Chain A
Amino acid sequence: MSVATEKTKTKPTLNWTQFLGRNGENIIFPALGFFALIILWSILAKLTEGKISELPNPSRTFEDSLPYLQNFFSQTQGDEGIFFLTLYSLVRVAFGFVIAMAIAIPLGFLIGTSRQAAKMMNPLIQLGKPISPLAWLPVGIVLFTALLEGAPRNIAQNAPAIFVIVVTSLWPTLINTALGVKSIPKDYWNVSKVLKLSKPQVVTEIMIPSTLPYIFTGMRLSLGIAWLVIVAAEMLTGATGIGFFVWDTYNTGEISLVILSLFVIGIVGLLLDQLVAVVERFVVGKAQLQN
C-alpha cells in the first residue's frame, strides 16, 4: 500500500541529461558505479583488517600489483607475466570453442530440419545442459589419460580442460542454431520449393544466411561460458593459465594478485564478447539486421 501511494506522488525530478549532457552522463554514471565498488571493497577490507585472513584494500592491491604488472610479458617458467598466463588460457578456450562450434552448428542444423533428430537429441540436451562444468573434469581426465597415453605431454595435459570447454559451451550454440532453423520464415521455404533449389543450395542460399543471427547469439553465449569454465578448470588442472594463477596466488597468500586476476579475467571476457559482436556485425551485415 505505502509503495503504491509513494509511486503516485509526482516528485520533482532532476533531468540528468539536461544537467550533464549526453556525454557527461556516459562518463559520470559509470564512474559512480566504480566508485561505489571501491567504497564497498574498502569497507569489506576494513572489516577483515587484523583478522586471520585479510582482504587487501584497493590501494594495497594496486601497490602489490604494480611490480607484477611491470613484469607483464615475462616468460620465465613458473613466473610467467600475466600476459602469457592469459594467453595460455585463451589458447585453450580457442581450441575448445572451435571444436564445440564444429559440433554444435551442424548438429543444430540437423535438429532444426529433422523432427526425428530433434526427438533423439532433445532429452540429451535437457540432460546435458544443466551439468556443472567441473563435474565433467574427472570424466575428461580419465578419458584422455587413457586415450592419449604416449601422446606429447602438452596435448595430454590440456585435453581434459579443452574437453570440459567443449561439452559445456556447445549447448547455447546448438540450441540457438536449431531455433534459428525452425524460425526460418515459411516464405523462404516456399521460394526454395517453387524454384526447386537443390539441397546444397537450400543450405547455402537460405538456411545459413537466415540462421546466422541466431548462430551468433549462440556463439556469444558459448564463448562466455568457455571463458567462465576455463578459469575454473585451470584451478584444478593446469600448471599454467590465469585460472591456475588465481589458485596459486591464493595458496601463497598473495591476495592482491588474486584480485588483479579477477580484473584481468573480467576485462578479457568483455573483450571476447565484443570481438564476437564485431565479427557478427561484419558477417551478418547491416542490411539483414534491418529486415
Chain B
Amino acid sequence: MDAQDSNELKPDLMSFSKTMQTLSNPLNSSVAAQSESFLEIRDISKVYPTPGGDFVALDGVNLTVKEGEFICLIGHSGCGKSTLLNMVAGFHQPTSGMITLHQKPITEPGPDRMVVFQNYSLLPWKTVFENVYLAVDAVYKDKSKGEKKAIAQEHIELVGLTEAADKRPGEISGGMKQRVSIARALSIRPEMLILDEPFGALDPITREELQEELLSIWREHRVTVLMITHDIDEALFLADRLVMMTNGPAAKVGEILEIPFSRPRMRSRLMEDPRYYELRNEALDFLYRRFAHDEIEE
C-alpha cells in the first residue's frame, strides 16, 4: 500500500519540482556547491537566570549538519531540544558558543530557516490559501500577484489540500492543519525546515501519512531538515542521523545514531531489516536505561 502510494505521487512531484526550480530562491542556488558544514552548532550553552540562581538548560552542545541532511532530535521532555531548535530558528540567542549557517552566525529568525510549529500556528482568521499566501507574499516581494498566487496554490496542491483551500483552520482537522503549516513552510523555499514535534498531536494513521509526505517532499526539494520527535520509529523511518540528547539540566548531545537504510524507504521493508531493531534497541537503551527520566546523569 505504502509503496504504491508513493509511486503514484512521484510523477506529480517530478513535474512539480521542475516548475519549482524556476521559482527557486537565489539564496538556495548560491550554496548548492557547498555541502559540508552547512549548519554548525559549536559549543552552545543556554543559561536562564532565575530568582533561585542560574538554570543551565544546555551545556556544550555540538552538532554539524550537512546540506540536505535529515536530522531528528530525540530526548526526554525538558532536555532542551526545543531550546536548541529555537536558537537555530533565531528566536533565542545562545548564552555562549555559536550557531552558524554557511559560516554566518544566526542572529535572528528568517524565512531561510522556516519553522513548522508544534501547534501549527496558522492564523485562524485566514483561509488555508491566505495562510500560505501570507508567507509567499512576505518573502517574494518582487513577484507579481499572479505568480505569488500560483506558488501558494502549487504548495497547497503538493500537500493535497486544494479542495480545502478556502476553509479556515477552525474547519479542518489537525492533520490538515499540519499539512497547511508544511505547505506554508515549503512555499518560501527555505534552506532549512525546522519542525518541532510536528506530528505529535496526530492520530497514528495521519502521522504515518504525513511522515511519508514529508519524506517525498524532502527528497524532491533537497531541503535540510531538523526535526524534534518523541517517537523512535518515526526518527528511524525519516532521519539520516538520530541525535539523542542527555537529560537536562545542562543537557548535551549524548549519542548520534547513523541510520543507514537506503532511500526511498518503505516502512514495511524497514520493519523486516534486522538492523532496524538493533538501532531501535540502541535508542531505547539510551533513552530508557542510560538516560531514563528522573535519573541523575553520568
Point out residues on A near B: beta carbons under 8 Å: 187-188, 190-191, 193-198, 201, 205-206, 209-210, 285, 287-288, 290-291
Contact: B171 with A209, CB < 8 Å? no
Does B134 make an interface contact (CB < 8 A)? Answer: yes
Contact: A291 with B170, CB < 8 Å? yes
Identify the 6 closest CB pairs spanning chains A and B, nearest first: A291-B124, A287-B168, A187-B121, A290-B170, A291-B170, A195-B138
Contact: A188 with B138, CB < 8 Å? no
Contact: A193 with B91, CB < 8 Å? yes
Does B109 make an interface contact (CB < 8 A)? Answer: yes
**Chain A residue at minimal CB-CB distance from B110:** A196
Contact: B121 with A190, CB < 8 Å? yes
Minimum distance in angstroms from A285 CB to a CB of chain B = 7
26 A-B contacts (beta carbon < 8 Å): A187-B121, A190-B109, A190-B121, A191-B121, A193-B91, A193-B108, A194-B89, A194-B109, A194-B110, A194-B114, A194-B115, A195-B138, A195-B139, A195-B188, A196-B110, A196-B139, A197-B134, A198-B138, A209-B123, A210-B123, A210-B125, A288-B125, A290-B124, A290-B170, A291-B124, A291-B170
Minimum distance in angstroms from A50 CB to a CB of chain B = 64
Q: How far, in whole Å, are A170 and B117 apart by their CA atoms in the complex?
A: 38
Q: DSSP majority for the A interface?
A: helix
Does B111 make an interface contact (CB < 8 A)? Answer: yes
Q: How many A-B residue pairs have CB under 8 A?
A: 65
Q: Which residues of A contact B139 (CB under 8 A)?
A: 195-196
Minimum distance in angstroms from A212 CB to a CB of chain B = 8
Q: Which residues of A contact B169 (CB under 8 A)?
A: 287, 291
Q: A196-B110, A197-B134 are in contact. List 18 more A-B contacts (CB 8 A).
A: A187-B119, A188-B121, A188-B123, A190-B115, A190-B117, A191-B117, A191-B121, A191-B123, A193-B108, A194-B109, A194-B110, A194-B114, A195-B135, A196-B138, A198-B138, A209-B126, A287-B171, A291-B169
